[in-house]
Structure 1
Amino acid sequence: MRFSDIVSEGVITVGGIGTIVAVCLVALVLVMEVLPLFRSAKVSELSVRKTSWQSGEVVHFEVNEYQTMGWLLTRDGTLQVVRLIPPDAKGTAEKDKAVTSFDVVHEKKLIDDGEISAISTSTGETGLVLGMTDGTIRTADLSFQTQFIDPVEIKDWLRETPAAQLNEPGDTAILKDQVVQMTSQGQYRAQKVQATLTDPVKVADAPIRLLDHLTESTGRGSLGGRSITFVALTEDAQLKLGKVSEKKSLLTGKAKWQSSLFDVPENATGKPPKFVRIDGLGNHAYAIDSQGMLTRLDIRDTKNIHVAENVDLLPGSDATVTACDWILGRETLFVGDSSGNVSGWFPIRLADRTDDAFADRESSDGFALVQAHLFPIGPGAVSTFDASSRSRMFLVGYDTGDCSLYHMTTEKHVADIAMDSPGKVTLAQIAPRDDGLLIEADGQFAHFALSPGAPDITLTSLFFPVWYEGYAEPLNMWQSSSSKIEDELKFSLFPLVSGTFKATFYSMMFGAPIALLAAIYTSEFSTRRTRLLVKPTVEMMASLPSVVLGFVAALVFAPIVEQIIPACLASIFTVPFTILLGAYLWQLLPRWFTLRLQPFRLWFLMPVLMLGIYLAYQLGPTVEGWLFLGNIKFWLVHPDKGSGVGGWLIILLPFSALVMMVIDGYGISTYWRNRIAKMPRLPFTLLSVAKFLGLTLGTLLLAVMLGSLLDLAGWDPRGSYIGEYDQRNSLIVGFVMGFAVIPIIYTIADDALSTVPAHLRSASLGCGATAWQTTLRIVIPTAMSGLFSAMMIGLGRVAGETMIVLMAGGNTPIEDWNIFNGFRTLSTNIAIELPEAVQGSSHYRVLFLSALVLFLLTFLINTVAEVVRLYFRRRAYQL
């Protein structure tokens, strides 16, 4: 016997400690996956070289995705390809710091006649448009072409060229007009620059001073062409708008370019612009002067180009605009000024604003350009700017030789970079993969390796509203994927946390009362035979897989409920009413008859329940006609139609019933016990029925009165607690998931009630208390710790449920509490998106953060539950 005790104690100890260790390890894994989201960016210098060109001579510089080479275009039309230092090559950083100039790979004269006076590029695209001094424009495409070279050919070339070294992964060498790099797999990757240039298109007689363009595809397949919309400012201050279209021959496949120019009203922009820009949809052209006054031109109708809006980009400031360009997507406009201020602007629809913040804005098309993002003041005047081609990061260069890296959406300050020389930064560029920076200042060209961390994630963006492009105000949104890289991803956890609480609330509101009342009935009022039948049946409900319940809810239950919405709402009143009325009418039966039927009274509940459901079905159309204009779906989506009293009646019925219970318990019952309780059975029962009907009528009148007052005050529930009806919504999930959680709450609650000592019940009954009084005042307080534990375990079951919510919850990450709308919880979001998330990405780690938040919420709830349980347990010991 002693040996078995020792073994049992050891097994229990090891199991308990193992459980604690396992939970801690789970938490540790989640934390380790989440920590990289909040690590600071790392910037390390790879090389510093002297430039071989004069300041202002280079009109554009581009680097390849591997940061091994780049090309630059000078004003005289010369294309020069140079080799850079690869960031992952061992030893190259120190070795090449002594190099005084770039290694020229290839040099070619692209333009023989004229000089480049303006250039337009687009972030993430290889095409560019050149404005010439002779008033023409030319389109060009400069891209990096990649191929892999046979190792035998490379080895033969290395033997002939002893100076070239390709011994370790990351080493580079120049082979003809290519840069060859040895990859980590031992392959030899070669890249060269492929350049194409079209014939000039005449725009004006004066040189092109400013230029911006938008490229659109005009077809599909190999014969698909391009259409370029451009806006240009000539040297004589003439603003030009034009389109150049590429037409390919069906027979030869050769391309021909056709151009057309459109008139822009004279003096439409006031002062001569310093920048001209065209948005990503080609609907508007922007002209910005040096003082910050922006004119937005509506160019959708080329025959009627007009001013849509004038905006001051520098309100209340004497500074001048020194940099203005698009970030990825061409919707958010970056603005930098001579005071070091940096801001982001994009248009919003004025009708979507619910406040009067923009009531004084004048706009001909209903849109307004707003300052959505404002960043800290820099150390000097903004001198240059570059946007990432794959994210919302951007690099700002100042005239003090400093640079700052930011993320536009989250307004996160990613990193600061300082050049050795304090000269003006004339070039600042982010590598295509966001893993490098190239900065030119005071004749020095610096190459930096960059590890940005997760610039698109901050604690503020995860849990507080963020102002996203196209939205009228800051919002909490979750949108982790899109069809285009230009789209703005949204990683707000608030809608998911809100959905988790929403699912928990509606499920527990339905399941918890039924489970607890069922446990009280079988433990305190039913016969032993009934209990032996009911309890196993309820416990067997727990064996139903949640995926089956979700399937039935989504494909069977949800369509049926959609057809009988008013009947389902009416059942909230009719089912409890008929059950309670049936209980009162049961007392009208003779005493001897009810005693003989006592073991079978549960079966008499079934026809009463069916009667309540039938009454709800019959009253549904009448209720819909009275309260919801005859069509509840129409009523829900038109707050300006009808009255909101019907919605308030649904919401306020439980509250009104509670008020009537309080009035009955602390007012009417006192008089009732003193005056009515001693009457004979029949008059007492009739008066009890009359009291019940009176309280029921009072409940309805109170709900209608409060709803009418709220409606008269202008507070309509539509758009808040009720709103547009979706087939898969909170009502469906609350019912089905409440059904799923009933067995676990019922079983634990019944066991807790059954463990209450029998002598406590006997003492109470012996003092003259009824069975109901004994249950309420003795049994339930004694078993409160167990009942609370049942509630908390059920709560945890609901909070972590996945399949039912996934299939029946609508799967929409929104944050409203509309019972007729869907939601998405933390657990379902992880189940849906984790298999498709790129490992190590921000999206991937935010999903682990979702799991950590769910873990912490559950841990917090369980901790509070344990504290409360111990409190009730101490109270129970006093009995």
Structure 2
Amino acid sequence: MPDPDRFQTARSTLLVDRFMTSFIKVGGLAIIAAVFGIFVFILLEILPLFQQAQVRPTGERQGPQVESVALGVDEWGELPFLLASDGTLHLLPASGAGSTVRLLPDGEQATASDYDQEEQSLVIGTSLGRVLSVDLNYSSELLADGARRIAAKPAVIAEYAIGEPGKPIVGVALGDSSEAKMLAVLQDGKVHASMFEIGLAALGGSAGKAEKLWSKDVTALLPAPPERILVDDRGESLVAADSQGRITVLQVDGEDMVVFQQPFKPFADLVDPRIASIDFLFGDVSLVLTAPSGENRIFSLFIDPTLQKRQYGKTKDLPPLKAGANAYAHSVRNKSFLLADGHEASLRFATAATVRWQGAVDYDIRDVAISGKYDRIFLLDEFGKLHDLALNDPHPESGFRAFFGKVWYEGGDGPEYSWQSSGSTDDFEPKLSVIPLIVGTLKGTFYAMLLAVPIALLAAIYTAEFMRPAFKIWVKPTMEVMASLPSVVLGFLAALWLAPLLEDRVPAILCCIVGLPLSALGFGLFWSRLPDHIRSRIRPGYEFLAFLPVMAIALYISWSLGRPIEALLFGGDFRAWWPQATGASFEQRNSLVVGFMMGFAVIPILFTIVEDALSNVPAALRSGSLALGASRWQTAMRIVVPTASAGILSAIMIGLGRAVGETMIVVMATGNTPVMDMNIFNGMRTLSANIAVELPEAPHGGTLYRALFLGAMLLFLMTFLVNTCAEVLRQHLREKYKTV
């Protein structure tokens, strides 16, 4: 009688089984938790990019109750100054008694000023027609206890002879180029412009007269007496605004010529077209204007395509204020600016045309200032009290519109999607649109999959259904070895070998792309028409041996036809012909190179998974189909492939994920230019390549650093969406064919 205990599972086996079951469950949950944790970490890194500025009051400083002419602040925001109309400059520290410096003699009033925060200099126009240049001479000292002490020694360093002596100056503007200073004054309804040589006095030596190169009365070039004048920091143009809402731009042409450049009315469409405020944005390429009704617009210089010269044009409309601004200050760190209209202040960012912060106060704002480090705001009220506000706005250039919308950047001829994270000047506008990166990712993936999917699928079908096992045992391991090739090796080959080859032999490559499939189709058609007694001489599964010579001949003929076709159709130089014929560029490292090499990297993955899916189709299905009279091709395409469709789809999705996330091939084989076209002979930049290229230059916690995390999040979401859709479709196909 059999022992019943012999059929019982050993206790140790049950324990191991339970342990492994629990271990697998815990491992699965840990993977899900890890993926979710990565998602949360990336999300926390990018959330600050979409937060508004935070402003909070930190203190007050009592200044003199006099009419102010200028308000400014040092780089650190610790020692603001106030220029009073009596010519006294007041320094207002956060604690302790302030100090005053008398810049004008008794009886002479300061009637106009132009403050350059970047250079910390001040130009003063007086009631007696004099123009003085003042250097604020800010300095910082680190004390023994680690505290910083800010000091200032304002001093008049130059006097400019301009205009009519004795008549009060009501407007003054200075533009400082590397070689000379252009000064303009508004006096008795007239505008005088002069160019001064930069000498010892103008550069900070002892006070004295600056040497005048030329001087002109440019009033005749203006349609009406102006109310406000501006000179750009390059000393190249003069902007005058009159009481009718007209702006006239004059250009310095040559050494001593001032010519009429452009007139325009920024608020011509409004009932009241007058200009409430006008001033330059940081960089002096854009004008920030407000109307009495509160409309806020920005006009920037750009190349007019019809006139082929630089003109001011409206580039942005910002949300309106309650009334026209009576105070303005811009940051010298970015394109932010601060407006005030009585009892309300509004901090705005010009590039994305967004309001970073807006708040009402219980006092009348007379003047405003922003610290050089963009971390403090100062509001001056009607009683001479200076209100100190802490500003926390680490990412003003970010936001949904900056990342995903079209933005009209300075110098551009229209709104565009653009990525350029850094520039050569301090007033550079970061361009952080991720749309070109998304397009580049899809572009590279499309060309790679366009090459890889047909080749891998057809090769897998032939290997699984038609190739002899003796050859199959060599083909599949070879493909798996190809899948293990490092991306950096493939990128190296693409950059140094394939890219120069494709650049020189594009017509030959195109002939091969067309010739090889046609030769395969032609050979297949020819083979199917051969008599059975001829075809039977080659055993089933060995047919490809007959095709190899045909493929070699077709490859040779296609390659040889490249030069004659290039000479006949493309003038002997395809690279020169392509831009002329299409208007599109031709780059050596382009999408065609990436398509070939990234497709080569994806083919082994697709082939291996598809071949496994086809091989796992039950042999009974093949036998039944063949027994009913179907050919091997009909059996493969109508029975095997549909049954394995779920696995084939999974293979394509895995290959798609491989192409989307590819980095090194794209970095090395393209120009990494974030362009927005599908030109196959142009470069691109993908999200993954952008992270690799920009990360070394991204300071921790900065806007670029977090923008790269945004790119990572987009990659995460793209692959998640693709995989989710693929899984839904795969389950549908499994349900459809599970009864086969």
TM-score (norm 1): 0.79
Alpha-carbon distance in 2 for matches of 1:245, 1:492: 43
User: Among 323, 330, 334, which residue is 2:288 paired with?
Assistant: 334
Alpha-carbon distance in 2 for matches of 1:635, 1:143: 60
Return closer, same or farther for 1:248/1:747 CA change in 2, 3 Å cut-off: same
Shift of 1:302: 4.4
Deviations along 1:481-537, one digit per CA (max 9) or x if unpaired, are 112220111110100111110011000001111111111011000000111111111
Aligned to 1:380: 323
User: Is the partner of 1:200 in helix, strand or coil?
Assistant: strand
Alpha-carbon distance in 2 for matches of 1:200, 1:143: 17
Alpha-carbon distance in 2 for matches of 1:245, 1:454: 40
- What's the % identity of the aligned pairs? 35
Alpha-carbon distance in 2 for matches of 1:857, 1:304: 58
Aligned to 1:671: none
Deviations along 1:179-222, one digit per CA (max 9) or x if unpaired, are xxxxxxx413222113342231211214332222222224xxxx
Aligned to 2:572: 630
| Coordinate RMSD, CA, aligned | 2.2
Aligned to 1:28: 40
Alpha-carbon distance in 1 for matches of 2:398, 2:651: 38
Asked if 1:464 corresponds to 2:405, the answer is yes
Deviations along 1:40-72, one digit per CA (max 9) or x if unpaired, are 322211123443231xx3222222333332222
Return closer, same or farther for 1:762/1:277 CA change in 2, 3 Å cut-off: same
Alpha-carbon distance in 2 for matches of 1:264, 1:597: 99
User: Among 156, 174, 193, which residue is 1:213 paired with?
Assistant: 174
Return closer, same or farther for 1:53/1:612 CA change in 2, 3 Å cut-off: farther
Shift of 1:592: 4.8
Asked if 1:106 corresponds to 2:99, the answer is yes
Asked if 1:562 corresponds to 2:523, the answer is no
Shift of 1:383: 0.8
Aligned to 1:437: 377
Alpha-carbon distance in 2 for matches of 1:809, 1:303: 48
Aligned to 1:768: 629
Shift of 1:265: 4.6
Return closer, same or farther for 1:389/1:339 CA change in 2, 3 Å cut-off: same
Shift of 1:631: 2.7
Shift of 1:303: 4.3
Shift of 1:573: 1.2
User: Among 24, 27, 30, which residue is 1:18 paired with?
Assistant: 30
Tell me, yes or no, if the aligned pair for 2:161 and 2:209 is still in contact at 8 Å.
Answer: no
Tell me, yes or no, if the aligned pair for 1:542 and 1:740 is still in contact at 8 Å.
Answer: yes
| Paired AA for residue 434 in structure 1 | Y
Aligned to 1:297: 250
Alpha-carbon distance in 1 for matches of 2:317, 2:639: 63
User: Is the partner of 1:597 in helix, strand or coil?
Assistant: coil
Alpha-carbon distance in 1 for matches of 2:560, 2:129: 80
Alpha-carbon distance in 2 for matches of 1:419, 1:48: 14
Return closer, same or farther for 1:127/1:445 CA change in 2, 3 Å cut-off: closer
Aligned to 2:159: 200
Asked if 1:389 corresponds to 2:327, the answer is no
Alpha-carbon distance in 1 for matches of 2:104, 2:362: 36
Tell me, yes or no, if the aligned pair for 1:419 and 1:441 is still in contact at 8 Å.
Answer: no
Aligned to 1:454: 395
Alpha-carbon distance in 2 for matches of 1:607, 1:107: 96
Aligned to 1:229: 182
Deviations along 1:626-648, one digit per CA (max 9) or x if unpaired, are 43343322222224xxxxxxxxx
Tell me, yes or no, if the aligned pair for 2:162 and 2:215 is still in contact at 8 Å.
Answer: no
Tell me, yes or no, if the aligned pair for 1:386 and 1:394 is still in contact at 8 Å.
Answer: yes
User: Among 347, 351, 366, which residue is 1:426 paired with?
Assistant: 366
| Paired AA for residue 192 in structure 2 | K
Aligned to 1:348: 302
- Where does 1:246-261 land on structure 2 (aligned, <5 Å)? 246-247=198-199, 257-261=210-214
User: Among 544, 557, 568, which residue is 1:615 paired with?
Assistant: 557
Aligned to 1:597: 538
Alpha-carbon distance in 1 for matches of 2:565, 2:238: 55
Aligned to 1:481: 422
Alpha-carbon distance in 1 for matches of 2:331, 2:401: 22
Deviates more, 1:470-479 or 1:60-69: 60-69
Aligned to 1:144: 138
Tell me, yes or no, if the aligned pair for 2:61 and 2:94 is still in contact at 8 Å.
Answer: no
Deviates more, 1:369-378 or 1:732-741: 369-378
Tell me, yes or no, if the aligned pair for 2:336 and 2:350 is still in contact at 8 Å.
Answer: yes
Tell me, yes or no, if the aligned pair for 2:63 and 2:92 is still in contact at 8 Å.
Answer: no
Aligned to 2:111: 117
User: Is the partner of 1:456 in helix, strand or coil?
Assistant: coil
Aligned to 1:189: 148
| Paired AA for residue 197 in structure 2 | S
Deviates more, 1:110-119 or 1:859-868: 110-119
Aligned to 1:706: none
Return closer, same or farther for 1:128/1:608 CA change in 2, 3 Å cut-off: farther
Alpha-carbon distance in 2 for matches of 1:70, 1:48: 12
Tell me, yes or no, if the aligned pair for 2:57 and 2:387 is still in contact at 8 Å.
Answer: yes
Deviations along 1:796-832, one digit per CA (max 9) or x if unpaired, are 0010010000000210011111100001011111111
| Paired AA for residue 12 in structure 1 | I
Asked if 1:239 corresponds to 2:198, the answer is no
User: Is the partner of 1:131 in helix, strand or coil?
Assistant: strand
Deviations along 1:74-93, one digit per CA (max 9) or x if unpaired, are 233323222126xxxxxxxx
Alpha-carbon distance in 2 for matches of 1:821, 1:491: 21
Shift of 1:340: 1.2
Aligned to 1:867: 728
Alpha-carbon distance in 2 for matches of 1:207, 1:52: 23
Alpha-carbon distance in 2 for matches of 1:511, 1:270: 67
Alpha-carbon distance in 2 for matches of 1:442, 1:53: 8
Aligned to 1:7: 19
Alpha-carbon distance in 1 for matches of 2:16, 2:200: 89
Alpha-carbon distance in 2 for matches of 1:872, 1:616: 40
User: Is the partner of 1:529 in helix, strand or coil?
Assistant: helix
The aligned length equals 719
- Where does 1:125-144 land on structure 2 (aligned, <5 Å)? 125-144=119-138
Aligned to 1:53: 65
User: Among 341, 354, 369, which residue is 1:412 paired with?
Assistant: 354
Return closer, same or farther for 1:248/1:381 CA change in 2, 3 Å cut-off: closer
Alpha-carbon distance in 2 for matches of 1:793, 1:276: 63
Aligned to 2:313: 370
Asked if 1:811 corresponds to 2:672, the answer is yes
Asked if 1:577 corresponds to 2:518, the answer is yes
Tell me, yes or no, if the aligned pair for 1:262 and 1:302 is still in contact at 8 Å.
Answer: no
User: Among 725, 737, 744, which residue is 2:586 paired with?
Assistant: 725
Deviates more, 1:254-263 or 1:783-792: 254-263
Shift of 1:609: 2.8
Unaligned ranges ≥5, structure 1: 86-102, 152-185, 219-226, 352-358, 640-717
Alpha-carbon distance in 2 for matches of 1:513, 1:281: 59
Aligned to 1:781: 642
User: Among 849, 852, 858, which residue is 2:710 paired with?
Assistant: 849
Asked if 1:490 corresponds to 2:431, the answer is yes
User: Among 257, 264, 267, which residue is 1:314 paired with?
Assistant: 267
Shift of 1:36: 1.1
Shift of 1:319: 4.4
Tell me, yes or no, if the aligned pair for 2:508 and 2:558 is still in contact at 8 Å.
Answer: yes
| Paired AA for residue 78 in structure 1 | T
Deviations along 1:308-345, one digit per CA (max 9) or x if unpaired, are 22101111321421211011111110101211111111
Shift of 1:590: 6.1
Alpha-carbon distance in 2 for matches of 1:36, 1:561: 45
